[in-house]
Structure 1
Amino acid sequence: MQTTKDYVKLFFKQNKFVAFVSALVFIILSTTYSIVSWIMQVIFDYMAGNSTYSFESILLMLGGYLFVAASLFMVQRSVYPRFLEKAMNQYKEAVIKKLFKKSYSDFLITNSGTYLSVLTNDCERILETYLKNIFEFIQNIIMVVSSLTLMLYYNSLLTIIAIVIAMIPMVCSLLTARSIATREEQVSKTNESYVSLTKDILNGISVIKSFKVENEAISRYQNKSMQLEHTKKMREQTFTVVSACGTIAYMLTQFGVMVIGAWMIHEHIGTMTAGMILAFINLMNGILQPINALPRIYGGMSGAKKLITKMSDYMSNAKRRYG
């Protein structure tokens, strides 16, 4: 019997090289974020008359950066969509093959609407919240590491202060992220029954009209639709709470670093310049954005894995599950 891990491996079957190149592009692009901050520092220090770089050197930096970034985006355009396409095709192919291996009696135990949901809504959620988030997760981690490295180079004391300020909201955000996976599973299950009922109503519309039970059918449909939309609303509320925690961390740390940095320059503590403070604040985005995004990404990926597990359970031997 295939496990969740086996189905996850299908995403990378004969697709590892494309996945590796895609991940490499995301990694390099995430490091360029720190380079932008450094270039900003050079430009503002040049404006203040404190830079050791000439105007021509700065122009060369900008031109080189733009060329590299454009080249990376061209490579990303080629490999990243190709990975997603092959990964989902292989996953869907495995699911449909597994479905046809089930006996007819086993197939009838589970409502066909469930299989429709697995092959449509669940696949879309897996693509958006698992496959795409793999690369977004990598990008955010590298962004944190590269930003933190340059921040420590600028001023270790200010870096430590900034991290301490951001810790409490970050912990709150991580704790609330776990509920995203639960909400995703609830939406998936509710969608199954909704799709199943909709299919039954459409297939049996002649019978419904014959027995003149249109009002009952409409009432059942409305109730199921309201239940589904309510579950989706709860999911969005959970996403909002998780995002709000990250946003609070962003604002608190951003203003905190700005005020403390201004105080350090005013009191001549360390060798910080106005350009460095500006770069430092921009680098904070390279930490705060992941703080805001990682809990959502983690929750989404956990929820998607639950959908894969659910599918694996449906595709397993029905007699073993119910008998």
Structure 2
Amino acid sequence: MTEYAFAARGLVKRFGKTTALAGVDLSARPGSVLGVLGPNGAGKTTAIRILATLARPDEGTATVGGHDVVREAARVRRLIGLTGQGSMLDEELTGPANLVLIGRLLDLGKAGATDRAHELLERFELTEAARRPVSTYSGGMKRRLDLAASLVGRPHVVFLDEPSVGLDPGKREELWRMVRELTAEGTTVLLTTQYLEEADALADAITVIDHGRVIADGTPAELKRVVGGQAVSLRPTDPALVPTAALAMERVTGRAPDHPGGHTLTVPVDGDDTAWELARALREADVRVTEFSLHLPSLDEVFFALTGASRKTHEETA
């Protein structure tokens, strides 16, 4: 078994005068989820296209399952599945017909392709719509069928390019469950997304790309520490006591708390001990709270801190 399910080193891709990728490194170990984040136009989809053998890099190398995506493209295609931003389904066909067609193209044989199609339709809860053309499916059903289509060949690596765009929260949760099931079975997933909570919920590691360059990578917890340590957020039971709570927080921490909205107050703390001191100070001030949490910054804060800083640097040097 190779150390990495896929690995890219120094990927460069240019389109005329535009550099989409400027030396990107990406890798993931078998059975893990790599989340790739970045603003629109950052280069995420271009990186997936290279790994999926749909585009050639101008510089750098990439392998999937130890096979070079340029020199051994045919072997790589046997190892991967891809769900792109747009549907690749034939909407005039039924769901089973789409899956069987893909299975036949993958040389599963008629019986093997049919069995695999029925298995995937049941897994993705699409059997009731089996006789209907895909054009009659809802957006969530089409996304589930898209994902099923990418799994027909039992791929070792699945590339999901913003798979939950347009899904309502309930359908997004279904997609997350399916991704977790895939990795539990040993499949490796590269997930691009603009939903920060999605990356936080699914990714074992995250790479942030902006202007075609990797600007940060690490686990979600490691990236959250980029914008600072822990913080305490609280909400007094009585809104009239917000000023009293704010004074207690500043006295303990030496910092005036942020007041992001409503009656919530947030202040950075040095660790658990400071949080306990703050709880005691609130009790002494007779401030009761409905919420009190010690937490790391959100991934949203990390994303905007990183890409905002990157954009400012880019503009200053442009």
Query: Normalised by the size of structure 1, how large is the TM-score?
Result: 0.26
Q: Which structure: greater strand fraction? A: 2
Whose RCO is larger (CA < 8 A, sep 6+)? Answer: 1
Higher-Rg structure is: 1
Q: Which structure features the higher share of helix residues?
A: 1
TM-score norm. by structure 2 comes to: 0.27
